[in-house]
Amino acid sequence: MLETGLDTQGNDEEVGKLTDGFHLIIDALKLNGINTVYNVPGIPITDLGRHMQANGMRVLSFRHEQAAGYAAAIAGFLTKKPGICMTVSAPGFLNGLTALAHATTNCFPMILVSGSSEREIVDLMQGDYEEMDQLAIAKPLCKAAYRILHVEDIGIGIARAYRAAVSGRPGGVYLDLPASLLGQTIGADAGAKSLVKVIDGAPAQIPSPEAIERALDVLKSAKRPLIILGKGAAYAQADIEIRAFIEKSGVPYLPMSMAKGLLPDTHPQSAGPARSLVLKEADVVMLIGARLNWLLSHGKGKAWGEASKKFIQIDIEPREMDSNVEIIAPLVGDIDSCVKALLQGMGEAWSKPPASWINQVSAKKDNNVARMASKLQNNNVPMDFHGALGALSRIIAERPDTVLVNEGANTLDFARSIIDIHKPRKRLDVGTWGVMGVGMGQAIAAAVETGSPVLAVEGDSAFGFSGMEIETIARYDLPICVVVFNNGGIYRGTDANLSGGTDVATTVFVKDIRYDKMMEAFGGSGYNATSPDELRRSVIEALDSGKPSLVNAVIDEEAGTESGRIGNLNPQSVVSKKQAT
């Protein structure tokens, strides 16, 4: 009889010359440099996780698949390798699916590996345990979806999933592993030979010389040029080239939220604090790994002003060109290759933009920074967003290696503009969809993948979506300090029930919650901070300890606004407003 798995002494030894699905999956992942998996165990993948751990992989078990999925997605962003989320069939799979769709939307490489039930029973809809046609459901939400039916296809199946996730525009891939695959056996030699190592998974995509010349001609002709860096630029890890290009060009640049820190936000060419001005006034805009989606008002309308604009766009995805406005100089290729070619094409004597433009941007920037400075130093009790975030901003400036994770509405929007980021990929947030619930998974993956300390700045609602994962943080003893901006609800804590009934308003939580006690329940450190000074002291102590910690930051219930800074997207009933007044 075949014996595989743990022997009677608990050793992970294979007996005889056979291997099985469990071990081939592990071998295939390890062969491709994948050593970390984010999962929630259960049928049929419990033993897979166990053997992964026994074979030297890091397997992090979460309390809910949504957080494991967000961890895998951001691991993909941070490492340029697919982040792996592993789930059980049907309900576990569905819990992980939002993260897979989020990874695809954000262009992060991720593989959702899910166990599934017996094909023969599922396809006849005979009511198997956790019956669901998972492959069909996953397909529209990811770049590619594969199912491996035979043990000899594991090597090729994992190679395909890997390549699909990282090549071209990165994204989410679904990999379906039926329970019956895991126990299938094959001769150990044949199994080893069936494995495939992905060579050059994301090959360089070199832009054409004509496209480079066209882009440089347009840039040269500009009187008021602007460069916009997006999270694709952060993902590309072409940090040195991007900085060299921006500095040589002399062009003011605007970082999208997760591109902050690619050059330090304190860089003289950063136009962050003059955002409205540069969007309105620029005559040539060069996009580097940023899409003209809702976050950039689709490249038109009020935010972009009256002045006519020419767009240059660098992107690996050719179909991104002309998606919202005409792109007069499309540069299709990978950012590293494109920026290197641009630098070369600029030659020695590149003339910087007119001083009048640089001075106009600088003046606006200095003015806005000066106006903000005193607000960020306030020590008001209860804290407002400026006082609290001013304190955190100074901590990040002192500790630029800290990864900042950020979600919420006001907590997100204020932090994005107030907290300067000083190094690449040190700010992780809600991404293209503005998803709540990403923070704990991102914090865990950031700590695991980078080894850096993490500061997660969370709205109290945002935190609640995956709050139980602080047990995961405590269990793995990760250097994460969670700060909950506790303003008693979604946007604010003061809304009234319009009916006058006894239920609280739809946006309001229990008063005076002590989120810090949750962390204490799991053995971590809890702090309650009511002033910016207290907040600073707590966070510094927490970061110095390198231990799991949570600071309950008491924020003025009235300080926030509905939908933070995107209230314009929030339809409101005129009729009910009249009734309310």
432 binds ligand TZD (CB under 6 A): no
The H or E element spanning position 307 is none
Between CA 141 and CA 135 the distance in angstroms is 10
Interface with ligand ADP in residues 168-227 (CB under 6 A): 169
436 binds ligand TZD (CB under 6 A): yes
Burial of 48 (0-12, 13-18, 19+ CB in 10 A): buried
Whose CA is closest to 141, among 182, 112, 181, 179? 112
**Which string of DSSP letters, residue by residue, matches 21-39?**
HHHHHHHHHHHTT--EEEE
> Binding residue for ligand TZD (CB under 6 A) from 409, 454, 474, 539?
409
Q: Which amino acid is at 386?
A: H
Rounded to the nearest whole angstrom, what is the least distance from the CB of residue 174 to ligand ADP in the complex?
20
290 binds ligand ADP (CB under 6 A): yes
Total interface residues for Mg ion by CB under 5 A: 3
Provide CB contacts within 8 A for 117, sequence distance 6+: 89, 90, 128, 129, 130, 131, 132, 178, 179
Tokens of 359: 């001075």
Interface with ligand TZD in residues 165-224 (CB under 6 A): none
Q: Which single residue brings its beta carbon nearest to ligand ADP?
A: 232
Residue given tokens 């309650």 in the structure block = 528
Rounded to the nearest whole angstrom, what is the least distance from the CB of residue 225 to ligand ADP in the complex?
18
Residue given tokens 């056979």 in the structure block = 18
Task: Give the CA count within 13 Å in the CB-facing half-sphere of 471.
Answer: 8
DSSP label of 506:
T
329 binds ligand ADP (CB under 6 A): no
User: Which of Mg ion, ligand ADP, ligand TZD, none does residue 531 bind (CB under 5 to 8 Å by kind)?
Assistant: none
Core vs surface per residue 215-228: b (16+ CB within 10 A) or e: bbebbeebebbbbb
Interface with ligand TZD in residues 480-539 (CB under 6 A): 485, 487, 490-491
Residue closer to ligand TZD (CB basis): 207 or 459: 459
> Binding residue for ligand TZD (CB under 6 A) from 241, 265, 334, 460?
460
Choose the stretch contacting ligand TZD; rule: CB under 6 A; options: 215-223, 344-352, 409-417, 527-535.
409-417
Provide CB contacts within 8 A for 124, sequence distance 6+: none
> Binding residue for ligand TZD (CB under 6 A) from 39, 117, 410, 525?
410
Q: Which single residue brings its beta carbon nearest to ligand TZD?
A: 459
**Axis crossing angle, helix 154-166 with helix 21-31, rounded to the nearest 10:** 40
56-60 own/partner pairs: CB under 8 Å, 24+ apart: 56/30, 57/26, 57/29, 57/30, 58/448, 60/36, 60/444, 60/448, 60/472, 60/476
440 binds ligand TZD (CB under 6 A): no
87 binds Mg ion (CB under 5 A): no
Binding-site string for Mg ion from residue 477 to residue 506, where x marks contact by CB under 5 A and - marks none: ----------x-------------------
Between CA 50 and CA 48 the distance in angstroms is 5
Between CA 385 and CA 411 the distance in angstroms is 7
Choose the stretch contacting ligand TZD; rule: CB under 6 A; options: 157-165, 361-369, 453-461, 573-581.
453-461
Rounded to the nearest whole angstrom, what is the least distance from the CB of residue 417 to ligand ADP in the complex?
15
> Binding residue for ligand ADP (CB under 6 A) from 79, 95, 106, 552?
106
> Binding residue for ligand ADP (CB under 6 A) from 95, 249, 393, 432?
432
421 binds ligand ADP (CB under 6 A): no
437 binds ligand TZD (CB under 6 A): yes
Choose the stretch contacting ligand TZD; rule: CB under 6 A; options: 14-22, 241-249, 416-424, 429-437.
429-437
Rounded to the nearest whole angstrom, what is the least distance from the CB of residue 95 to ligand TZD in the complex?
13
Residue ranges binding ligand ADP (CB under 6 A): 106-107, 169, 230-232, 235-236, 256, 258-259, 289-291, 293, 295, 315-317, 320, 334-335, 432
Residue ranges binding Mg ion (CB under 5 A): 459-460, 487
